[in-house]
Chain A
Amino acid sequence: MATRVLIVDDHPSFRRLATRLLQEAGFAVVGEAADAAGAIGEAERLRPDVVLLDVVLPDGSGVEVARELAHTDEAPRVILISSRGRSDFGDSFAWPPGCTFLPKHELTPARLRAVLQRP
C-alpha cells in the first residue's frame, strides 16, 4: 500500500510539482495545505502517514504544528522542509522529537524514502 503524504507549503507551484513528483514515484499524496491551521485540519481529517511540513508558514511556525501533530493518536511521521539550509537553524536548534529536517533542494523521492526507512 502506498505511503499517504500530506504536503504543507504556502507556495502553490511547489505543492503542485512536489505532488506530481511524489505520485509518479509511487507515493499517494492525499492532500495539500497552505498554512498552519489548514495543516492541522487536513492531518486530522486525512490521517496521512507522512506530513511534509514547511518550517515557515504564513500564520505560524511549522515547528509548532509538528509539536501539535505529535500529540495526536496515530501521529504521522513529520518531515520538516525549508528553503533554508540546516546551518541557518544552528546545531542546537530544538527540533521536535521524531521529526526529520530535509532542505527543499535535497527533496527527491529517493531521499524521502531513505529518510522514512530510518526510525
Chain B
Amino acid sequence: MRASAMLLAALTLFLWAADVARQLQLGVADSGLAFYAVAGVAGVVVAVAVARQARGDRLALLIALWLLLSVLDDLAVDWPESRSATTVWMPAHGLVPSAYALMVLGYPSGRLRGRGDRLLIALAAVVGLVWMGAPLLFFRPTGCATCAPRVASWLYTGTTFDYLPVGQVSWAAFIVLGIAFVGLLVRRLRAAPPGARVTLLPLGLAVFFTAAEFVAQRVVWLGGWRSPGGVLDWIDRANALVLPLAILLGLAAIRRRRGPLGDFVVELSRARPGNAQPALARAVGDPTLELALWIPERGEYVDEAGMPIDVSAIPEGRALTAIGPPGEPLAALIHDERLLGQRSLLEAAGSAARLALENARLQAELRAQLTELRSSRTRIVEAADAERRRLERDLHDGAQQRLLALGLALQLMRESDVDSELLRQAEIELQTALRELRDLARGIHPTILSERGIGPAMRSLADRAAIPVTVEAGDERFPPAIETAAYFVVAEALANIAKHAEASAAAVTFARRNGRVLLEISDNGCGGAVARSGGGLRGLEDRVAAAGGSLRIHSEPGAGTVLRVELPCG
C-alpha cells in the first residue's frame, strides 16, 4: 500500500516536471508557472508525508491518485498535438471529480464509511467516463455542425470539440452530484463530536474554497467576463496546494489531540514483544535510549533480549530514570543526561511503557500458570488412571483368587458327604460374588483396554450394549491416556444412550486424522442432550480436556445425538 502510494507520487512528480519543462520550452516563464510548479511539488510532498505517518498509507494512495489524474489532465493542454496525451487526458479528465470526492470522503483513514459515499463516488466515476468516453468514441469536429459523429478520437488532437448532448446531460448530473457531495460533507461535519470537528475543519474549508472558485469561474465564463488581474486563474492553480495542505493540517490536529505520546502508545501496543526500546527511543527523541527491565527473581536489570545490564556503571553523560513505585522498579530508562530536563516526558513515556510491559509480563505469567494448571490436571487424571489399573490388578490377584480357591474347595466338599443343598446355595452365592467382582474390576479398569487396545475394548463395550452398536476402529495402539479417555467416553455415551436416548441403534467411529484422533458416537434417538454440571457428559468433557482434547455435542431434539471428540495422538 505504502509502496504503491510512493510509486504514484513519483510518477506524478515526473509528469509534473515534464509539464513544467514543456511550458518553459513553449516560452511560458511567468509567476503563474512558478506557482504551478511549487503547488505540484508541494502536493507530492504532502502525499509522501501522509504516507509516512502511522496508518496514513491508504489516504496517501488516494491523494497520489488524485494528483496523478490532475497532472494527466493538465498535460494535454500543453501537448495539444499529441494524440496519446489527448487519449489519456480524456478519461483522466472525466475521473478527476470522482478521485477528488474519494480523497475527501476517505479522509482521514483512507476508507469510505457509508453506502452514500460509495454510491456518490461510483456515480461520479460513471458520469465522468460517459462524459469523456462518449466524445472519445463519437465526436464531431469543431465548427462542423453538419458533420456526422465519427469513431476515431485517437486521430483527434486538441482539447476543443463540440459537445454532444451527452455532454450537457453529464454536466447536469455533475451539478447534482456536487450538491450531494457538499451535503455529505456538511452532514459529516455536523455529526462529528467537537473533538473530531477540529480535525475535519481544514478539509471542509478547502472544499468550500474549491467549490466557490469553481462556481465563480463558471459564472465569469458564462458571462463572458474576465476576472480582475486574472485572480481566478491564480486561485485555480492554488487548488492543487490547498487540499493537500488542508489534509496535512487536519492530520496535525489529530496528532495534537492525541498528544506527543499517542503515537508511541499506538506503536507500542502494536509492537511485537521485545520491541519496546525502539518505540520508546522515538517517543522520547533519544536514539541512544536503552530500556532495562527489572527481574525480581534475579535481582537485576536485563535488556529486552534477556542480557543483564549493569546499571551501577552508567557512563559519563548518561542518566537513569527508574519506572515504577519506589523500591519496586519495573524497568529503567538509560538515556542522554540532557533529557533529565524533560522529566515529565520521560515519566509519561515510562508510564506508557510500563502499562505495556506490565501487561506483557502479566500475560506471560498467566500463560505459565495456565500451562502448569493444564499439566497438573493431566497428571492428576493420569495418576487416577494408574491407580485404577492397580486397583483392578489387586482385585484379580487378591479377593478374586481367594474366591476362586473357595469355589474349588466347595467342589471338593461336594465330593465328600456334606449337605449338598446348602453347598449348592454356597456355590451360587460364590458365583454371584465372582461375577460382581469381575464387573466391578472391569468398571474400574477394563483389562481388554490395557491388553488389547482401544479398538477391541470398544467392540467389547458394543457387544455388552442393549441395542445394536456398530464400531469402526482398527487395532492400532495409542498412548494410555488417549485410550483411557476414549474408552470412558464411549462407555459413558453408550450408558447415556441406553438410559435416555430411546434409540434403536448407535454407531461408534474412531480414526486417526491429521495427527489427531477423531471419535464419534451417534445414535438415532430423541436428542436434546446437554452437558449439565455434575452430569456424566460434563465429567466426560473434563476428562477429554485433561487429555488435551475437545468434546462437542450436537443434539437437536428429535434428531438423535452426535458426540464428537478430538484427542491429540501423542
Contact = CB atoms under 8 A, between A and B. Distances in A.
A11 interface: yes
Interface stretch (B168-176, B183-191, B406-414): B406-414
A108 B447 contact: no
Given A11-B405, A91-B459, A84 B447 contact: yes
Interface stretch (B22-30, B216-224, B350-358, B395-403): B395-403
Contacts, number: 72
A67 B408 CA distance: 28
B152 interface: no
B400 A83 contact: yes
B438 interface: yes
Interface stretch (A12-20, A29-37, A42-50): A12-20
Interface string B419-444: 00000000000010010001000100
A24 B415 contact: yes
B405 A88 contact: no
A27 to B, nearest CB: 13
Interface residues of A, number: 25
Contact of B452 (A93, A105, A107): A93
A117 interface: no
A33 to B, nearest CB: 17
Given A21-B412, A93-B452, A104 B447 contact: no
Main secondary structure of the interface of B (DSSP, over half): helix
A105 B411 CA distance: 11
Contacts of A89: 447-448, 451-452
B408 A90 contact: no
A83 B447 CA distance: 11
A16 B547 CA distance: 45
Contacts of A105: 404, 407, 431, 434
A14 B464 CA distance: 30
B456 interface: yes
B463 interface: yes
A87 B463 contact: yes
Interface string B452-464: 1000110110011
A41 interface: no
Nearest to A15: B405
Contacts of A83: 396, 400-401, 404, 438
Contact of A91 (B408, B409, B446, B463): B463
A108 B427 CA distance: 12
A87 B412 contact: no
A11 B448 CA distance: 22
B401 A13 contact: yes
Contact of A84 (B412, B431, B438): B438
A92 B404 contact: no
Given A20-B412, A84-B438, A85-B438, A90 B460 contact: yes
Contacts of A18: 408
B429 to A, nearest CB: 13
Contacts of B442: 88
Given A21-B412, A87-B464, A11 B446 contact: no
A46 B457 CA distance: 38
Contacts of B402: 13
Nearest to B452: A90
B401 A88 contact: no
A89 B463 CA distance: 12
Nearest to A16: B405
B456 A92 contact: yes
Contact of A93 (B407, B431, B456): B456
Contacts of B401: 11, 13-14, 83
Nearest to B396: A83
A21 B397 CA distance: 21
Contact of A88 (B412, B415, B447): B447
Nearest to B453: A90
A109 B414 CA distance: 12
A56 B397 CA distance: 10
Nearest to A110: B411
Interface in A31-78: 56
Contact of B448 (A20, A21, A88, A109): A88
Contacts of A84: 396, 438, 447
Nearest to B442: A88
B460 A14 contact: no
A82 to B, nearest CB: 9
A64 to B, nearest CB: 13
Contacts of B446: 88
Contacts of B434: 105
Interface string A87-101: 111111100000000
Contacts of B409: 17
A92 B455 CA distance: 10
B463 A104 contact: no
Interface of B: 396-397, 400-402, 404-405, 407-409, 411-412, 415, 431, 434, 438, 442, 446-448, 451-452, 456-457, 459-460, 463-464, 475
27 contacts: A11-B397, A11-B405, A13-B402, A13-B405, A14-B405, A17-B408, A18-B408, A20-B408, A25-B415, A56-B396, A83-B400, A83-B438, A84-B447, A85-B438, A87-B448, A87-B463, A88-B438, A88-B442, A89-B452, A90-B448, A91-B456, A91-B459, A92-B456, A92-B459, A104-B404, A105-B407, A105-B434
Given A91-B456, A105-B407, 9 more contacts: A17-B409, A24-B412, A24-B415, A56-B396, A84-B396, A88-B460, A91-B459, A104-B404, A107-B408
Interface of A: 11, 13-14, 17-18, 20-21, 24-25, 56, 83-85, 87-93, 104-105, 107-109
Across the A-B interface, the 10 shortest Cβ-Cβ residue pairs: A17-B408, A90-B456, A13-B405, A88-B447, A104-B404, A11-B401, A83-B400, A105-B434, A90-B460, A14-B405
